[in-house]
Amino acid sequence: MLSVLRRKAEAPVPAPATQEAGGTRDIDVRSLVQSLQKEAARLGREAAEVRGVLDDTIRFSSRQTEAIASLAQQLQGIQQSQAAIGNFTAQSLQSVGQARSVVEAVSKEVAAIVDTLREVAGAAQQITQIAMQTRLVAFNASVEAKRAGEAGRGFGVVADAVKDLAAKVEGSSKDIMSTVGALDTRIAALSREISHDASGRQQGAFHRAVAAVEADVHRISDAACESRAVTDTMGAQMDVIDREVRQATEALHAAMGRSEAFLKVSEHLMEVIAACGIETEDTPFIRAAQEGAAQLSRLLEEAVRDGTIALEDLFDERYVPVEGTDPQQHLTRFVELTDRLFPPVQERLLGLSERVVFCAAVDRNGYLPTHNRKYSHPQRRGDTAWNTVNSRNRRIFNDRTALASARNRKPFLLQTYRRDMGGGQFVLMKEVAAPIVVQGRHWGGLRFAYAF
């Protein structure tokens, strides 16, 4: 149909008798083409808006996928910690059991010691009785020696010595009995503290403490088991969520592909309408982009021809990162030349209309060496958001629109897209790109963007 419209628009003016009818047809064709252009523009606007929303949703979905993966990893770490707690509690219970066994063995030894001490006390008591009897015998012997007079004097001395010795033995035996009694009392108390009744009705303080520790360890173990069961359930739910989010992301990517095709159809329709020879609202911008690209091509060719720059330097693709920049900026061997040649052309076209957002040339890889002055401010260290909006020169733009404009070799390329202005602000724009050619080689393209 457009070819028919183009033929009608280019048809010669009929004879005077039919000029009125022919003029009416020309007006009808022009009105029809302009109407189609508006509808194509509206279609492109809607397609760009849908694509932008899908792109935002895909980015959000990707962030959600990353967040879920991070949460799943943290959940796995919690499960590992819970397993470690289970191992530690099992070891603690085993240690408590070993301690109880050791203390029970000690309790038995203590009971044996108590028995031995009682035997010692019994022996000491017997010694005391013997000492008392010995002292009584020695006393009687001393009395008899005194009765014997001079003849019993020696015997009396011996009897007194035996009596004194028996008294000392008796005193020592009583001390032993007293000490053994006190020791028996203390050991009996210790035995009661560490004693354990198999029935559980009577327990010493140590076993009560051990039982309390054991109960606490059991509670920790039970809590860890319950927590592990909860995290296992959460892990299963996370797997389901992760699977569903990934499926949603795949569906969004598929929708993005379809919206891409839809957007290309609308852009192709706008290009065909713009190329039909009838003036539309895009015509001035297309003409300006083509003229600007042709002027930049001539300036670069002159620079190569007069030796200002070598051809291989003009086509330099070694993008050297500028240290400390965020977003990352780069330098090439031709930036000094473009800084000198491009601004007069780009700034003039920038002032063509209030609708023009930017006008800048990029090489075939999307590298933008010299931007408009209002987008070429020095970066502020640590202020990425500000830099993203105000320091757009020296950067590589390799998104769908930028690369299409950079690599376009047709007389012009008309695209629609949603541009991120920073701070969550977006603007729907059209962009015309015209190729820049130097000595027959495609250098890049002039990007000429304007608002709807």
* Residue 110, number of CB atoms within 10 A of its CB: 19
Nearest C-alpha neighbor of 103 from the set 231, 178, 216, 211: 211
Q: What is the pLDDT of residues 390-421, one digit of tens each?
A: 999 999 999 888 999 999 999 999 888 877 65
Query: Domains in the chain, please, with CATH?
Result: 27-280 (1.10.287.950), 282-452 (3.30.450.20)
Quick check: 336 pLDDT over 90?
A: yes
Quick check: 41 pLDDT over 70?
A: no
Burial zone of 294 (CB within 10 Å; 0-12 exposed, 13-18 middle, 19+ buried): middle
Confidence band (pLDDT; 50, 70, 90) for 116?
A: confident
Supply the pLDDT for residue 112: 73
Supply the pLDDT for residue 13: 29
Highest mean pLDDT among 119-128, 248-257, 363-372, 424-433: 363-372
Supply the pLDDT for residue 15: 34
Distance CA 228, CA 224 (A): 6
* Beta-bridge partner residues of 422: 425
More confident residue, 311 or 233: 311
Kindly report the average pLDDT of the chain as a whole number.
Answer: 76
Q: What is the pLDDT of residues 254-287, one digit of tens each?
A: 665 665 665 566 666 666 666 666 677 888 999 9
Q: 366, 402 in Cβ contact below 8 A?
A: yes
* Percent of the chain residues topping a pLDDT of 90: 31
Q: What is the pLDDT of residues 356-395, one digit of tens each?
A: 999 999 999 999 999 999 999 999 999 999 999 899 999 9
> Positive or negative CA dihedral for 394, 396, 400, 402?
positive
* Backbone φ and ψ of 391, nearest 5°: -130, 70
Q: What is the pLDDT of residues 25-40, one digit of tens each?
A: 555 666 666 666 666 6
Supply the pLDDT for residue 78: 74
Per-residue HEC secondary structure of 100-125 comes to HHHHHHHHHHHHHHHHHHHHHHHHHH
Angle at 45 (CA atoms; ends 43, 51), nearest 5 degrees: 100
More confident residue, 355 or 41: 355
